[in-house]
Amino acid sequence: KLTPTFTSGKMKMMFETLVECINPMDAAITSYCISKEPVDIKDTLARFTTDVIGSCAFGLECNSFKTADAAFRNHGQRIFSPETKVKALIGLFALISPKWANRLGVSVFPKESSSFFFNVVKDTVNYRR
């Protein structure tokens, strides 16, 4: 049996984790301000969100601000940003009709990214047992 992820005690502990994820974002924004570069707020908040999800849900340090090619972020981008409209339609088909998609060998997500997140979840579940 798995333990609940979001108990009140765990939520209190997550607050500290959240604060730890804010520090790299703060440093990145400060760096942009000092150099008077424009801040890509969408990218900045996506990196922050990646760090928070990775830390709170999976106990990972994603380091999205320090590492340009962080694995957790890259696989997340592959899943949520289809490269073409055709791939988006194929993914939609697989979600709407999973039986047919399975028969045709159509996958909603890239196999490499699916395997990555499957392993992350499996490792997290094993750790929490």
pLDDT tens digit sequence for 23-49: 999 999 999 999 999 999 999 999 999
Q: What angle do CA 97, 58, 63 make, to 5 degrees?
A: 110
Neighbouring CB atoms inside 10 A of 70's CB total 20
- Over residues 62-100, the pLDDT tens digits come to 999 998 888 888 888 887 776 767 777 877 888 888 888
Q: pTM for this structure?
A: 0.71
